[in-house]
């Protein structure tokens, strides 16, 4: 600092500089310098914010909707009010209450809409499994148990991930974990083959004792974090032309290599694991995050062209891919899609009513065709409400990405939102024949523990990023002094 300057107090209104110098003390004024939060400040953050009060009201409303739907379903199937209605309502409110209390303590300023929407979709999915009434294939009590596990991991994720930027430090470790999870269904002793209707088998599941699940559900979250970290670091290299060709600057072709590698890896999964849905999901997730990081549409065109070529070659070389396309183009040849289409047609606008649709005859109705069951019993209005709920979920996620503090957090939130949006779109579009039926799980609704748990972890990461983006950028507890030239 210049020795000609010394600390002076700020002039009070109507006071002269001489009278202030005679005061002998230097007052302080607020400025941008943060202090350690006191106990009172920490207690203030734990108090209910307007966002948490809104969330509590929406959670209670969603639980009442789920309880009413469960009651109507029981009346439709057994003509009487369920005897376990009160315990059911207590469990639903209890799980929602645990997640809400964790939000009040750990992410008090986070988005108030995400958790109520997820709770509503999860509860309605449980009701549909109870209506389907196939306890050997889609047991509702196991779905309830996986919901409890998902809520527990939701809280654990919020406790462990205190700052989103901490995930950026473990970029390559997360990548290795994701690759291991993607390839784990191929390990002898772990893989659990599932036979599909075309006479083929898929290697998507791993089995550890009595527990079986899809590791790709967790792997997709790890890949989102890795892609966000990689693209936030390489953003300028990927978006700014750096090579001169004649009189023009063109893009360096070297950043295209990761796209080619991702394409090759997606094709490898398609070949060895015989999975179409997650192959498409992972590759489009990569392309979407690349476009969000750079803003260049040419990456989207190049990636889609690569995938189209690979998919066309796969339909020629692999029977299971060709069978998916044939089922999409000619649904009358197989019973699965036709049953779903006829069921949704019979539902009409308002549906047949919960418990009156007789949806148990649909193949894989608790997983692949659960949206068709919703369209049958709830009609066009009910299925439209489900679509609208997913649109709200995606809109809230994109809003979180907009308000995120860092580039890494923005890309992570956007990638997580794109993941849940694409996954829900793929399965719903497959049921109504906009796309080939991919077989991915409808988030929070379809039966499946691994999908449910992964989506709750995804929700927790979005809540963490949302809380960081909603906090004030500067502490209100700050002091400083003014500097004025010293008179010699």
Q: What is the mean pLDDT of each run of 10 residues along the chain (488 residues)?
A: 48 49 47 42 56 93 91 84 82 91 94 94 92 84 91 95 90 88 80 56 72 86 90 78 70 68 69 73 85 82 81 76 78 74 86 82 84 91 94 95 92 94 92 84 90 95 92 54 52
Asked if the structure places residue 181 within a domain, the reply is: yes
Residue with tokens 């057994």, as numbered in its chain: 78
**Which residues on neighbouring strands pair with residue 202, listed in sequence order?**
194
* Residues 161/460, Cβ–Cβ less than 8 Å: yes
Asked if the structure places residue 157 within a domain, the reply is: no
Asked if the structure places residue 227 within a domain, the reply is: yes
Work out how many domains the chain is built from and give that number.
1
Q: In a 3-state reduction of DSSP, which class is residue 249?
A: strand
Asked if the structure places residue 296 within a domain, the reply is: yes
Q: Where are the alpha helices (DSSP H) in 79-209?
A: 85-106, 114-132, 140-160, 171-183
CA distances from residue 261 to 81, 82, 215, 268, 468 in whole angstroms, order as listed: 57, 54, 21, 10, 34
Residue 147's CB: how many other CB atoms inside 10 A?
A: 23
Asked if the structure places residue 440 within a domain, the reply is: no
At 13, give phi and psi (nearest 5°): -60, 125
At 192, give phi and psi (nearest 5°): -130, 100
Domain coverage including residue 262: 164-329
User: For position 237, what pLDDT does the model report?
Assistant: 74
User: For position 48, what pLDDT does the model report?
Assistant: 62
DSSP string covering 35-51, please?
A: ----HHHHHHHHSPPHH
CA distance 133 to 211: 22
348 is written with which tokens? 């009409």
Asked if the structure places residue 352 within a domain, the reply is: no
* Residues 320/274, Cβ–Cβ less than 8 Å: yes
Identify which of 199, 200, 176, 201 has the alpha carbon closest to the alpha carbon of residue 191: 201
Q: In a 3-state reduction of DSSP, which class is residue 323?
A: helix
User: For position 474, what pLDDT does the model report?
Assistant: 52
Asked if the structure places residue 301 within a domain, the reply is: yes
91 is written with which tokens? 């469990």
DSSP string covering 346-394, please?
A: HHTTT-S-TT-S-GGGSTTTTTTTHHHHHHHHHHHHHHHHHHHHHHHHH
């Amino acid at each position: 600092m210049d020795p000609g300057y010394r600390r002076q107090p700020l002039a009070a209104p109507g006071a002269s500089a001489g009278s202030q110098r005679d005061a002998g003390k230097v007052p302080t004024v607020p400025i941008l310098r943060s202090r350690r939060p006191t106990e009172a400040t920490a207690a203030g953050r734990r108090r209910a914010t307007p966002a948490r009060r809104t969330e509590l009201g929406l959670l209670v409303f969603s639980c009442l909707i789920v309880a009413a739907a469960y009651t109507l379903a029981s009346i439709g199937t057994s003509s009487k009010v369920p005897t376990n209605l009160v315990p059911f309502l207590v469990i639903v409110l209890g799980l929602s209450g645990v997640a809400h209390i964790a939000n009040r303590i750990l992410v008090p300023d986070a988005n108030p809409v995400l958790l109520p929407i997820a709770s509503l979709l999860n509860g309605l999915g449980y009701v549909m499994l109870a209506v389907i009434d196939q306890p050997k294939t889609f047991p509702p009590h196991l779905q309830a148990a996986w919901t409890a596990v998902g809520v527990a991991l939701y809280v654990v994720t919020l406790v462990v991930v205190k700052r989103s930027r901490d995930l950026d430090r473990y970029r390559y470790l997360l990548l290795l974990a994701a690759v291991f999870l993607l390839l784990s269904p191929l390990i002898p002793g772990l893989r659990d083959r599932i036979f599909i209707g075309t006479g083929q088998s898929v290697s998507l599941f791993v089995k550890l004792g009595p527990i079986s699940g899809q590791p790709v559900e967790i792997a997709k979250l790890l890949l989102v974090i890795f892609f966000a970290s990689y693209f936030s670091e390489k953003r300028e290299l990927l978006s700014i032309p750096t090579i001169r060709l004649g009189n023009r600057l063109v893009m360096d072709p070297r950043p295209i290599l990761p796209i080619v590698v991702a394409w090759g890896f997606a094709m490898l999964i398609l070949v060895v694991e015989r999975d179409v849905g997650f192959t498409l999901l992972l590759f489009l997730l990569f392309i979407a995050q690349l476009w969000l990081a750079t803003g260049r549409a040419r990456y989207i065109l190049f990636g889609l062209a690569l995938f189209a070529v690979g998919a066309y070659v796969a339909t020629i070389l692999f029977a299971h891919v060709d069978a998916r396309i044939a089922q999409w183009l000619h649904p009358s040849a197989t019973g699965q899609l036709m049953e779903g289409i006829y069921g949704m047609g019979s539902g009409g606008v308002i549906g047949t009513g919960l418990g009156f649709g007789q949806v148990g005859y649909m193949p894989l109705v608790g997983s692949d065709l659960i949206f068709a069951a919703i369209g049958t019993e709830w009609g066009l209005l009910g299925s439209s409400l489900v679509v609208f709920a997913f649109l709200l979920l995606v809109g809230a996620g994109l809003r979180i990405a907009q308000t995120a503090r860092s580039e890494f957090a923005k890309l992570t939130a956007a990638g997580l939102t794109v993941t849940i949006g694409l996954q829900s779109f793929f399965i719903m579009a497959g049921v109504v024949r906009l796309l080939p039926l991919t077989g991915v799980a409808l988030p929070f609704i379809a039966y499946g523990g691994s999908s449910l748990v992964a989506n709750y972890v995804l929700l927790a990461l979005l809540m963490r990023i949302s809380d960081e983006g909603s906090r004030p950028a500067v502490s209100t507890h700050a002091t400083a002094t003014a500097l004025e030239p010293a008179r010699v």
